[in-house]
Chain A
Amino acid sequence: MAYAPAMAHTPLRRLAVLGGCGVLAMSFQAPAHADPTFTHISTPSGRTTLLDDGGSPTFAISGTASPDVTTVDIVCVRGPSGSTDSTVVASAVPVAGGGFSTVSPVPDLSGSSPVCRLKALPSGILPDDDTTSFSGPILNIDIVKRTSDGTNTLDFRLTAGSGNGEISVASAGKCGDSSMGTLADDLSVTRDSEGCVGDLGGTAGSVRVDGHPALLPPEVLAFTNGTSPLSLSFHTRKDGQLTWTESAPLLRCSGTDTYPPSSPGACGSLLGTGVSFHRVGTFDRGGHQVRLRDTFTSSDSAKHRLRLVYGVESTPPPTGALGFAFPGRSGGFHGSMTGQVVTGLPKKAATVLVRSDRFTAEGDPSAGTRAITWSRPPDRLAFSADDATVFGLQYALAVPKNGTAALGLTDSQATLTSTARALGSRAADDMMPAPRITSPARGAVITGKRTKVTGVVRAGANGLPVSVTVNGHRATLKPTGASRATYHVVFDESLGKHTLTAVARDAGGNRRSTSITVRNK
C-alpha cells in the first residue's frame, strides 16, 4: 500500500501528494509564469453591512483587474470551494483601463445565509473554480421583509449577519427571535439553534391586559377583519450591529375573549386595551446575541394589569434530543416533559441553557447551545402540555398610571456550551447598569461627619431601579425622565477613611453597586 502523506487541497479538488513524494522529488523545473489574473473589489471597502428594508436599495461596486480581464461578473459567494453557494449581483460589467464600476441592487439573500463574500469573477471563471485571486469584501446583507396591507406594516421578518453569526427574527407576535447560526471561515452556516424566543403570540395567555386576551398586529391580521399597524425601524452599523424597534398598540376583541376568535366576525370590533407594546432588539456580540428590551406603556393614563407568557420554542435536529439546563440546578443538560413546571429559579436575572442535542459532544460543530437570559425571574416556567420542546415564561406585571412596565430577554448562541454560558452570564450583567456617584468625588475630603452622596441611575431592562442605598442608608430617587433618575442621601459617618458604596436594586431583584473612597475629617 502506498504511503503518501499529503494535504488534500480541497479547494482545488487536488488530492495531491505534496508533503511526501512531491517534496521528495523536489525539482527546480520552472513553471510557466504568465502574468497573474486577478481582480480586486475596493468598494465596498472592508466588511460592510447593507440593509434592505424595501425600496430596492442599490450599492456601488468598483475595483481593479489585471490587464487580461475585459468583463467581470460580480457574485456573492459562501461555502466551501467545490460546493459554493453563489448569488449573482451584476453580470458582464466591463473593465476599462484596469478598473470596473457599477451600481447594483442589494441582492436578496433572504432564503439563504445573509453573509457572503463579494467577488468579481472574470468571464469564464465559475464560483466553484479556484477564486482566491479574486478578492473582495464580506457583506452582511440584512434584509427586512414586511407584510403590509398596502398602507401599514403588519408583520416583518428579518435576516441579518454579523461577526461569525447570523439570525432570523420575526415580529413579537409571530415568534420573535427565531434562529441563530454560526458561520464557518468559508461563510457557510450551521443553523444549530432553531426555534422562537421572546414570542408574545399564538396562545390565549400570551398577552392579557386586565384579564382580556390582547392581540399584537400579526394576530390581528390572522384572526380578525381588521388591521393594526406595526411601527418599525431598523438601524445598522458598519460593524454589523443591528438595532430595530417595533411598536404597536395591544388590541382586543369587543365580541369575545376566546383566543383565537372562532371566526374573524366573532371578534367584533377591535378595542384598545390602553397599553402599547414597544420592543427594542439589538443584534451584536460578534453575531451571537440578540437583546430584546420590551416595554408596556399605559396609553390611556390608567393603570393596567398585565399577564404575559413569553414563549420559548426550540427545534431539535431530526434525530437529536433537546437538553435543558435551568439556573440553580446542577447536573448538566436534561430532557423535558410535557406539562413540566420548573421551580426554584433564582430571584434575579438568570439564564436557561438549551442544547440542540444533549447527546452531542461539546465542540461538535453541528450542535449548538442557546442561552436564554431573563431580566427578572418568571412567576412560573412551565412546558407546554402537549409539546416538551416549548416552554413559557409567565409574568404578572403592573403598568402604572401613565407609566411603563419593562422586561428584558437576551438570546445568545454558541457551538460550545461554555461560550453560551459566558454570553448568558454577560447578558445577565447587562440587564442593569451600575449606579454612578456624582458627588463626592473619588478621594474627596469631607469636613465633618455629615456625608451627602448624590448620583445618577439609568434604566435597565427592568426599568429604573426601585431603590438605591448608600452604605445601607436609603436614598431618595427622583426620576428625571423615562430612563434616568437622580438620587441623594445624607448620613453621618465617623471620621477617617471610608468606602462609600451605592447599591441600586431593580424590580427584577438585580443589584449593581459602585464604590468610591473618601475621608471624613
Chain B
Amino acid sequence: MATNVLRGARGLAVAATVVLPLALLTQLPADAAPGPGTWTSITTPADGTSFLNEFGHEGHLTVKGKTSPDVSAVNVYCLRGSGSSVDATIVATTVPVVTGGFTATVPVPSAPTFPQCRLRALPDGVSATQTYLASYAGPVVNFDSWKYLASQDTFQLRASSRTGTMATNGMGVCAAADLATVAPDETVPGGSHGCLYALGQSGLGATHGTVGVDGHEAFTTGAALGYGLTPTRLATSSFHLRHGGGMGWVETMPLDRCSTDTAFPPSAGTCPTLVSSGVEIRQVSTYLPGGHQVRIRTEFRSVDGERHALRLDYLNSVSPLADGVMGFRFPGQKSFHGSTTGEVVSALGHAAGTTLARSNRLSDEGDPAVGTRAITWSRTPSRITFSGSDPNTFGMSYRLRVPKGGSVHLGFADSDGVLTSQAVALGHRGERDMMSAPRISSPDPGSVIHGRTTTVKGVVTSGANGLPTSVTVNGHAATLKPNKSGSKAAFAATFDESLGKHTVTVVAKDAGGNTRSASVRIRNI
C-alpha cells in the first residue's frame, strides 16, 4: 500500500457533501423571499483560500458571516456559473442567523465538478438558480483533493489556483493531464486535455515499454500492476498546499525489472518475480500559483551504488476538440500544423525547449473554447516520435546515464493558455526556470583589484538538469565543488586580467545545454 501522506491540509476529517441537481435545489425550505437591500457576506474563509483533502477523508470547514437584519437563516452553497445553468454544491443548510451573524463548521464538500467555486450564503427563500446573487457576497475557494487508486498505484489530483484549474495523476500514469482557464463566474469553458510525461504501461511500439534500465525493460509500479506483476514496493506520495497559492506534490517510485529476461510485454507467468533495477525515481511537482503551469522535476537515482543506463520514452497524448484538429508547433516553427502517424520530429534544438499543442488549429486565437498547451523540456529529447496509430500521441525519447551512487535529473513544465501568446509566454518562463543563474560572491560589483591576478568565486545551484556541468569566467574554466547533497556547488577561477575596467561574466552550463550568466563590473589597477 502506498504511503499517501497529506501535508498541510487545512481540513480535519470525514464526510462528503453532495452536489444536488437543480430540481432539488428548488425544493429547499423557503421563507418569504428577501427583497432589495437584503444581503449576506461570508467573512471566513478568506477569498482565495484553498483546502486540500484526500477524497473520502475530507476535513471540516468553518464558514462565518453576517447578514442584513431581515435574514434569519442561510443556506451556504459553492457556486459555478449562474442562473439556470448554475452548478451548485450545498455546503451547509439552514444555518441560523443570530444577531446578524452566522457560523457553521461543516464537512469540506467532496469532489465538486471543479475545485474552484464561490461560496455564498443565500437567505432562506433565495434559490441558487436565481440570476442575480451578487448581494450575497462570499469568497472564491479551491476545494483541492486527491485520491489514491490502488489498482494502478497512482493518484488522481485536482486543484485550482487563481484563474486556472488542473487534474492530474501520478507519474506512472500522467505526470500532467488537464489544464484549463476558470472564467470570472467560475465556469470552465475550454481547456487543454491530455496526458503528458507518462511513464506508464505502454510504449509507442509493441516491443518495449516506456522505461529501460541497463538494457532491461523496467516498470513503474503502475505499469507493473497493469501487467499483473507485483512491484518490489509501492510508490509514496505526499501533497501540500503552497504558501501564496498553488500546491506541490512529491512522489518516489522504484523502477523494477523481471528477475529473468523475458519477452515484452511481460505477464505474471513469464515474469513471476520483479527485482529492483537499481534505480528509483523521485519526482517533485509544483502547480504554480497563477494556475496555468505545472512544473515537474524528476530525479533518477542509483539505489545500489552502481551506474546505470536509462532509456526513457515519455508518452504524451493530447486531445483535440470533438470537431477540431490538433495543431502542433515544435521549436523553431512559426505556425501550427497537423501531425501524421509515425512522424518523427528531429532538430529540436540543443537546450530547453517548448512544443505547443493547440486543441484545434483551425480555430481563432482567443476562442475561449480552445486552448494551447506549452510542453516544455529541460533538455532536448533525442527524438519525438508520433504513435504509429494515433497522430495525437507522441513519445519523447531520452538516453541518460545515472552515475555510480548518484542521480540524473530531468525537468518538464506543462502550461496552458486560451491564447497561444499566453502559452508561449508560459513556455518561455518554463524554459527559463529550468536553470538558475550563477551567483558571484566575490568580487563585489565595482570592486577595485590590485594587480592583474583576478579570482572570481561564487555558487551555482541545481536546476532541472541537476548541477551545472561547467562554469566559465570570462572564458576561463572554473573549478566546481558540489556540496554533499548535490544541491549547490561552489565555483572558483583565477586568471589574469589587463589593468582597467572590466566586466566579469560567469557562464554556467548544464547537462541539457542550457546556459545562464551573471556579470559584475570591476577595475584592475
Contacts and interface: CB of A to CB of B under 8 A. Distances in A.
B138 A361 contact: yes
B248 interface: no
A5 B157 contact: yes
Contact of B137 (A9, A26, A129, A364): A364
Interface string B166-193: 1111000110011010011101111101
A33 B338 CA distance: 11
A415 B137 CA distance: 14
B195 A8 contact: no
A132 B360 contact: yes
Interface stretch (B36-44, B272-280, B281-289): B36-44
Given A184-B184, A359-B39, A366 B363 contact: no
Given A18-B319, A36-B325, A320-B135, A7 B368 contact: no
Contacts of A30: 341, 387, 389-391
B36 A9 contact: no
A185 B368 CA distance: 6
A42 B168 CA distance: 38
Nearest to A18: B193
A33 B392 CA distance: 11
A23 B321 contact: no
B418 interface: yes
B133 A366 contact: yes
Nearest to A2: B111
Interface string A418-432: 000000000000000
B134 A360 contact: yes
Given A6-B167, A132-B323, A366-B82, A319 B188 contact: no
A176 B232 CA distance: 77
A102 interface: no
A14 B322 contact: yes
Contact of B168 (A19, A37, A320, A361): A19
B140 A363 contact: yes
A134 B369 CA distance: 12
B39 A321 contact: yes
A21 to B, nearest CB: 8
B324 A26 contact: no
A357 interface: yes
A57 interface: no
Interface string B72-100: 00000000001001000000000000000
Nearest to B33: A319
B360 A133 contact: yes
Interface string A305-323: 0000000000011111100
A320 B362 contact: no
Nearest to B34: A319
Contact of B135 (A1, A321, A415): A321
A24 B173 contact: yes
Given A19-B193, A130-B322, A26 B198 contact: yes
A38 interface: yes
A81 interface: yes
A310 B392 CA distance: 61
A47 to B, nearest CB: 9
Nearest to A321: B37
B113 interface: yes
A83 interface: yes
Contacts of B147: 3
B16 interface: yes
B183 A132 contact: no
B169 A19 contact: yes
B410 interface: no
B138 A319 contact: no
Interface in B334-385: 341, 360, 362-364, 366-370
B393 interface: yes
A23 B174 contact: yes
Interface string B126-169: 00000011111111100000010100101011100000011111
Contacts of A364: 118, 134, 137
Contacts of B193: 7, 9, 18-19
A140 to B, nearest CB: 14
Contacts of A12: 321-322
Contacts of B158: 5, 19
Contacts of B388: 28
Q: Is the contact region of chain B dominated by helix, strand, or loop, or is it mixed?
A: loop
Given A30-B341, A360-B137, A3 B189 contact: no
B262 to A, nearest CB: 23
Contacts of A380: none
Interface string B36-78: 1111110000010000000110000000000000000000000
Contact of A3 (B156, B165, B183, B341): B156
B102 interface: no
A458 interface: no
Contacts of B133: 366
Given A36-B324, A321-B36, A366-B134, A80 B195 contact: no
A132 B369 contact: yes
A451 interface: no
B167 A357 contact: no
Nearest to A24: B173
Interface in A8-51: 8-12, 14-15, 18-20, 23-24, 26-31, 33, 36-38, 40
A37 B319 CA distance: 17
A300 interface: no
Contacts of A3: 55-56, 111, 147, 156
Contacts of B168: 5, 19
B85 A83 contact: yes
Contact of B184 (A138, A360, A365): A365
Contacts of B174: 19, 23-24, 26
Interface in B271-325: 315, 317, 319, 321-325
A71 B26 CA distance: 45
A40 B134 contact: no
Interface in A249-297: none
B454 interface: no
Interface string A221-263: 0000000000000000000000000000000000000000000
Contacts of B36: 316, 318-321
Nearest to B35: A319
B249 interface: no
A367 interface: yes
B370 to A, nearest CB: 5
Contact of B190 (A11, A321, A360): A11
Nearest to B196: A23
A138 B138 CA distance: 34
B167 A130 contact: no
A134 B363 CA distance: 6
A136 interface: yes
Interface string A164-201: 00000000000000000000111000000000000000
A138 B368 CA distance: 13
Nearest to B387: A28
Interface in B192-246: 193-195, 198, 200, 202, 204
Contacts of A11: 189-190, 321, 369
B152 A24 contact: yes
Contacts of A321: 36-37, 39, 135
B114 interface: yes
Contact of A130 (B113, B323, B418): B323
Nearest to B388: A28
A184 B183 contact: yes
B35 A361 contact: no
A28 B82 contact: no
A135 interface: yes
10 contacts: A1-B16, A3-B55, A3-B147, A11-B189, A26-B173, A26-B195, A130-B369, A132-B324, A132-B370, A366-B185
Given A12-B321, A366-B134, 6 more contacts: A5-B158, A19-B158, A26-B173, A28-B204, A135-B367, A184-B183
6 smallest CB-CB distances across A and B, nearest first, come from A19-B167, A359-B39, A19-B177, A185-B368, A365-B184, A11-B369
